[in-house]
């Protein structure tokens, strides 16, 4: 049997300013996603979980919690941007130009804006990206700039993967 390693994500050396990464997975947001996330984060705005209340607003239906939108679109970018992250440093310039509703499917992509070596940590570099999330109709629903510390190739902690039937 031949074991082939899967995608390990980008390391600092793999990023180039101007690169654009369309992230591979879309995700449809459900009412349950919105309600659970809203209550889990102790957001008490009825606009997110009270359908009767939301029907009386200009939107006519519940809005997806904006921090759920931020979390989901950030998560979609992990496979391309921060699979090998040491730490997130910042989310800046978060913009929400179009509302997200239950039933919308979100997709995203990121563009590399800056890349530089860390002056204090030789095992990582600093990468800044602009991530854009959009819905099934192509309407931009969120944009933000994220800065991450990304491990250099060969400098990341090792992930131990046990094969079935092997001891722990």
Nearest CA among 127, 158, 161, 129 for reference residue 143: 129
Compute the distance between CA of residue 154 and CA of residue 160 in angstroms, rounded to an integer. Answer: 15
* Span 78-94, average pLDDT: 96
Compute the distance between CA of residue 100 and CA of residue 11 in angstroms, rounded to an integer. Answer: 32
Q: Is 12-151 a CATH 3.10.129.10 domain?
A: yes
Q: Is pLDDT above 60 for 168?
A: no
Do 47 and 63 form a contact (C-beta atoms < 8 A)?
Answer: yes
Of the pLDDT bands very low, low, confident and very high (cuts 50, 70, 90), residue 23 is: very high
Average pLDDT, the chain: 93
Cα–Cα distances in angstroms (integers) from residue 52 to residues 34, 35, 57, in the given order: 15, 14, 10
For the chain, what are the domain ranges? 12-151
Q: What global pTM score does this model have?
A: 0.91
DSSP string, the chain: -----------GGG--TT-EEE-S--EEPPHHHHHHHHHHTT---GGGT-HHHHHTSTTSSPBPPHHHHHHHHHHHHTTTTTTTEEEEEEEEEEE--S--BTT-EEEEEEEEEEEEE-SS-TTEEEEEEEEEEE-TTS-EEEEEEEEEEEEPTT-SPPPP-PPTT---
Of the pLDDT bands very low, low, confident and very high (cuts 50, 70, 90), residue 31 is: very high
Q: What is the pLDDT of residues 104-119, one digit of tens each?
A: 999 999 999 999 999 9
Q: Is pLDDT above 70 for 165?
A: no
What's phi and psi for 122, nearest 5 deg?
-70, -10
State residue 157's pLDDT score: 87
Q: Is pLDDT above 70 for 167?
A: no
């Amino acid at each position: 049997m031949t074991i082939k390693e899967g995608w390990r994500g980008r390391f600092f050396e793999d990023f180039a300013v101007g690169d654009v990464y369309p992230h591979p997975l879309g995700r449809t947001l459900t009412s349950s996603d919105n309600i659970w996330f809203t209550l889990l984060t102790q957001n008490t705005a009825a606009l997110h979980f009270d359908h009767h209340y939301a029907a009386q607003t200009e939107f006519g239906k519940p809005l997806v919690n904006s921090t759920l939108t931020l979390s989901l679109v950030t998560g979609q970018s992990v496979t391309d941007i921060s699979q090998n992250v040491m730490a997130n440093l910042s989310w800046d310039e978060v913009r929400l130009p179009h509302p997200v509703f239950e039933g919308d499917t979100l997709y995203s992509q990121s563009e590399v804006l800056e890349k530089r070596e860390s002056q204090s940590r030789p095992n990582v570099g600093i990468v800044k990206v602009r991530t854009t999330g959009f819905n099934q109709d192509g309407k931009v629903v969120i944009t933000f700039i994220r800065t991450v510390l990304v491990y250099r190739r060969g400098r990341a902690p090792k992930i131990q993967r046990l094969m079935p039937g092997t001891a722990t």
